Amino acid sequence: MPAEENLEARVRELLERVVAALGIVGEIEVSDDGETLTGTVHGEQMGLFIGHHGQTIDAVQHLATRIVLRDGDGPRRRVVIDAEGYRARRREALEGQAADAADEALRFGRPVALDAMTASERKIVHEHLRDRVDVDTHSEGEEPERHLVISPAAS
């Protein structure tokens, strides 16, 4: 089996095991664009797979990344695990929170701290606001309470 197919098979097998263990019905799709290996579970009741604040899906993504990278051979790959468009919806929600917090920081002239979030979620917020010259972003705290702070830009 070629290495690329092996990676896809590893992700598919992990997702099949997790879906079966959770007792949910889902169709699994695995795709590879050369940079990102994406495993998606399609089904009607994905709440259990996603988990509270995405904790379960993030844990499965972490496991999938460890499995894909375990041999250490070949190029490093980004691994994304999704369920019924959860990642896109979460990105949209984070970008909305970031925009609202930036507006609040400017309106009141003070830093605004967002709730604790994962490194990948903080990255989404940093990237969403990086082209705005009116605000600055930075992270504070220690995991798992690390959070992002949005401040008016220094003049």
> Taking the domains of the chain in order of start, what are their residue ranges?
3-84, 89-152
Other beta carbons within 10 Å of 97: 20
Q: How far apart are CA 22 and CA 87, in angstroms?
A: 20
Question: What confidence score (pLDDT) does residue 3 get?
Answer: 58
Q: What is the mean predicted confidence (pLDDT) over 22-44?
A: 94
Question: What confidence score (pLDDT) does residue 116 get?
Answer: 94
Q: How far apart are CA 22 and CA 20, in angstroms?
A: 5
pTM: 0.85
Instruction: Place 1 in a pLDDT band, splitting at 50, 70 and 90.
Output: very low
- Does the N-terminal peptide bond of residue 144 adopt cis geometry, omega within 30 degrees of 0? yes
Looking at domain 3-84, its CATH class is: alpha beta
Question: What confidence score (pLDDT) does residue 6 get?
Answer: 86
Superfamily name with CATH number, domain 89-152: R3H-like domain (3.30.1370.50)
Q: How far apart are CA 26 and CA 50, in angstroms?
A: 12
Q: How far apart are CA 142 and CA 80, in angstroms?
A: 24
Q: Identify which has the larger pLDDT, 3 or 37.
A: 37
Question: What confidence score (pLDDT) does residue 89 get?
Answer: 96
Question: What confidence score (pLDDT) does residue 2 get?
Answer: 47
Cα distances (angstroms) measured from residue 41 to each of 7, 12, 61, 146, 155: 17, 10, 12, 29, 47
Q: What is the mean predicted confidence (pLDDT) over 89-118?
A: 97
